[in-house]
Amino acid sequence: MLKDRVVAVTGAARGIGREVALLCAREGAAVVVNDFGGSASGEGGDSAPADEVVREIEQAGGSAVANMASISEPEGAESIIQDAVTKFGRIDAVVNNAGFLRDAIFHKMSISDWQAVVNVHLNGYFYVAKAAARYFREQESGSYVNFTSTSGLIGNVGQANYSAAKMGVVGLSNSIALDMQRYGVRSNCIAPFAWSRMTAGIPATTEAEKQRVERFKSMSADKVASLAAFLCADVSRDVTGQIFSVRKNEIFLFNRPLPIRSAHRGEGWTVESIASDLIPAFRASFHPLQKSAEVFPWDPI
């Protein structure tokens, strides 16, 4: 599916990113394996994990190059795309997957932890996408695969930074799809469920939390890779602006926020009439506050 194509995968040394990089290589793509080798909280740096994925791809007969740049800086993001063009002559798809967690209850979250997560999960995805955009425009083709999360799409406790960034990724991806459609470029989102370093930190003190962790352990990262590789391939050329989710062998299509109710008042609305008429009419359609685990309570199939 990806023969003669070049794919750049951020956060490609471990977890979902690693599985995406390996599968794209098996499908024939040359791969830029980007990972600065930080911890699950985004600290430190190590070239060994990315180098190991490159070795695995090359030993299987594929082509790959390691890149250790942090996508939180525009120069680092630019280097990923430049490595693709310099080493392999082109860039055909970008998989924005890099990220880490710094969880805390909203009112206890530090400014630095807010900025660090947003800088990678949202700003970084923009930087990498922008670096690839001029090549995509010139060749009038290209695909962006942007990883979001049900923490943003639905909600989760203690993840204001991550949830806000991941919901922002949806807006970014949709804007790219709209702005770049004239050049034959597509952009889609995937919200993955998978056991990885990031989900290994899920608290498990209550019985419900322990059951959730066990569900996650049954959902391996390689299950997500097939959809990502498909979205990178030319066969997905008519799929753009969509939000998918992968949960073991289940694939979901999410909708975008759209109007569900309306009310009109010829003379306009006052504070009083909103309280007396509008809210009672709308209340049955209000969505409840929910966490991702409450929307997906069944065992993964």
Residue 44 has pLDDT above 70, yes or no: no
Determine contact, residues 37/245, Cβ cutoff 8 Å: no
Considering the chain, what is the average pLDDT of its residues? 93
**What's the pLDDT tens digit per position in 120-162?**
999 999 999 999 999 999 999 999 999 999 999 999 999 999 9
CA–CA distance, 109 with 107 (Å, rounded to integer): 6
- Structure confidence at residue 123 (pLDDT): 98
pLDDT score for 218: 77
Residue pair 92/5 in contact by the 8 Å Cβ criterion: yes
Per DSSP, helices labelled H in the chain are 15-26, 48-59, 74-88, 111-118, 125-139, 150-153, 160-180, 207-217, 222-232, 271-273, 279-282, 292-295
**Which helix (H) or strand (E) element contains residue 243?**
strand 243-247
The first and second tokens of residue 186, run together, are: 């597509």
CA atoms within a 13 Å half-sphere pointing along the CA-CB vector of 33: 31
Q: How far is it between the farthest Cα atoms of the chain?
A: 73
Using a 10 angstrom Cβ sphere, with 0-12 exposed, 13-18 middle and 19 or more buried, the burial of residue 83 is buried
Percent of the chain scored above 90 by pLDDT?
85
- Residue 140 backbone zone (phi > 0: left; psi -120 to 50: alpha; other: beta): left
pLDDT band at 70 (very low <50, low <70, confident <90, very high): very high
What is the rounded distance in angstroms from the CA atom of residue 117 to the CA atom of residue 60?
A: 34
pTM over 0.85: yes
Residue 171's pLDDT band (cuts 50, 70, 90): very high
Which domains, ranges and CATH numbers included, belong to the chain?
6-256 (3.40.50.720)
**CB neighbourhood size of 70 (10 A):** 22
Distances (CA, A) of 87 to 66, 74, 75, 91: 11, 20, 18, 10
User: Please, is 228 exposed, middle or buried when counting C-beta atoms within 10 Å of its C-beta (0-12, 13-18, 19+)?
Assistant: buried
Pair of tokens at residue 71:
């996508």
Residues 187-232 have pLDDT tens digits of 999 999 986 655 656 656 777 666 666 776 778 899 999 999 999 9
Return the SS3 of 250. strand
Amino acid at 130: K
Angle (CA) 81 83 89, round 5°:
90
- Vertex 125: Cα angle to 11 and 40 (nearest 5): 35
Active-site positions?
162
Please report the pLDDT score of residue 47 as a whole number.
85
| CA–CA–CA angle 128, 134, 140 (5° rounding) | 115
pLDDT of amino acid 40: 65
What's the gap between Cα 128 and its chain centre? 13
CA atoms of 15 and 76, how far apart (whole Å) = 21
Per-residue tokens: 148: 């979001």
